[in-house]
Amino acid sequence: MTSAFRPGPLNLITDVLGLTVGHLTDEAVRSGATVLRTDGFWAAAVDVRGGGPGTRETEALAPENLVGKAHAIALAGGSVFGLAVADGVVAALSDQGQGLRLKPGSPAIPVVPAAVLHDLGNGGDKAWGLEPPYRRWGIAAIEAASRTFALGRVGAGRGAMAGYLPGGIGSASLDLGGGLMVGALVAANPIGTVYMPDGRSFWAWPFEIDGEFGGRRPGAHPPVVDPMPDASRLYELGRTQVGANTTLAVVACNADLTTAECKRLAMMAQDGIARAVRPAHTPFDGDTVFALASGAIALGEARAVALARLGSAAADCLARAIARAVYEASLG
């Protein structure tokens, strides 16, 4: 039986209305930044499952803490230097008047959680001394934000790897009917591999819609038993430091989720990483999933059932987005 479920019109996270995405890609540095902007102050949460994360403002998203919402999410390469991307986004949004106003006349205070991946060793020009470029890139990425955006070797995914292959930016969406939309955005830089042992079929193949990542299907193949496959980078010297590899993701929907419900959405979406990458969530990955909810659609009764459905869809969208990231990077 064929299902009626389809991607949204763009098959991008921006099918969740109110979101825009902007990239800054620097070919000389071989790095970049990607910013996901909301049109307001959306319920938000984060789930960190990698052993080497690089993050900012994640504690503000804990369900038991005060804020639990975000104006934008910033992703970047550059490891610890990349965290400055949020400085630029905060300044740019505040300059436009977006943010919390705690007192008349004081600056607007945007909440911009951020996460970074490691691309320092990829041969780009990283001799930035006291002036790393990521703060500037955050401002530029906000200026570039749009409902349509490029996939592959752009933005925060410019310097990313997936195993030994180029990684990059991916996205996907699913229309659940009744006005409900779910989407995912990813900067895929996992130490694990997105390919099955045949070296060509994506782990995520069962979830593919309309050949969005090449339509390859696995044939006969040997059992998948090597826990550290050659296509992963676990043995590669110089890349197995903590935090050297990371899948950074945002999942979003237009339901009226609370911060705690966004946390469950992010937790379930981690299963999309598990299904698209093997191994995942190692000590060397910084795997981090943010979740956002616009609140446009009221879930009404049986909220937890609806949340399970949204979480399952978010996991599928994230698995598809990861495969699309590597597929699009391979085309470039």
Binding site for its own copies (CB under 8 A): 1-3, 5-6, 49, 51, 174, 176, 191-192, 196-197, 206-210, 217-218, 220-228, 234-235, 240, 242, 264, 267-268, 270-271, 274-275, 278-284, 302, 304-305, 307-313, 315-316
Q: Which residue's CB is nearer to its own copies, number 302 or number 331?
A: 302
C-alpha 218/C-alpha 200 separation (Å) is 8
Q: Which of 19, 13, 31 is nearest to 320 (CA)?
A: 13
Q: Are 246 and 285 in contact (CB under 8 A)?
A: yes
Minimum separation from the CB atom of position 16 to its own copies (A): 15
Q: Which residue's CB is nearer to its own copies, number 189 or number 282?
A: 282
C-alpha torsion sign, points 61, 66, 69, 72: negative
Bridge partners (DSSP) of residue 33 are 24, 76
The verdict on whether omega for the bond into residue 190 sits within 30 degrees of 0, i.e. cis, is no
C-alpha torsion sign, points 240, 30, 183, 298: positive
In the numeric block, the tokens 């981090």 are attached to: 288
Q: Are 186 and 170 in contact (CB under 8 A)?
A: yes
Minimum separation from the CB atom of position 276 to its own copies (A): 10
Minimum separation from the CB atom of position 34 to its own copies (A): 25
Minimum separation from the CB atom of position 307 to its own copies (A): 6
Q: Which residue's CB is nearer to its own copies, number 64 or number 131?
A: 64
Minimum separation from the CB atom of position 308 to its own copies (A): 4
Q: Which residue's CB is nearer to its own copies, number 149 or number 213?
A: 213
Minimum separation from the CB atom of position 183 to its own copies (A): 13
Phi, psi of 181 (to 5 degrees): -130, 140
Q: Which residue's CB is nearer to its own copies, number 51 or number 214?
A: 51
Minimum separation from the CB atom of position 3 to its own copies (A): 5
In the numeric block, the tokens 């195993």 are attached to: 163
Minimum separation from the CB atom of position 262 to its own copies (A): 13
Q: Which residue's CB is nearer to its own copies, number 39 or number 226?
A: 226
Q: Which of 194, 261, 202 is nearest to 231 (CA)?
A: 194
C-alpha 197/C-alpha 229 separation (Å) is 8
For residue 141, give Cα distances in angstroms to 10, 33, 157, 207, 286. 20, 7, 13, 30, 23
User: How would DSSP label each residue in 29-70?
Assistant: TTEEEEEEEEEEEEEEEEEE-SSS--EES-GGGSTTSS--EE
Largest CA distance in the chain: 67
Q: Which residue's CB is nearer to its own copies, number 268 or number 292?
A: 268
Q: Which residue's CB is nearer to its own copies, number 140 or number 194?
A: 194
In the numeric block, the tokens 């540095």 are attached to: 29
3-state secondary structure of 325: helix
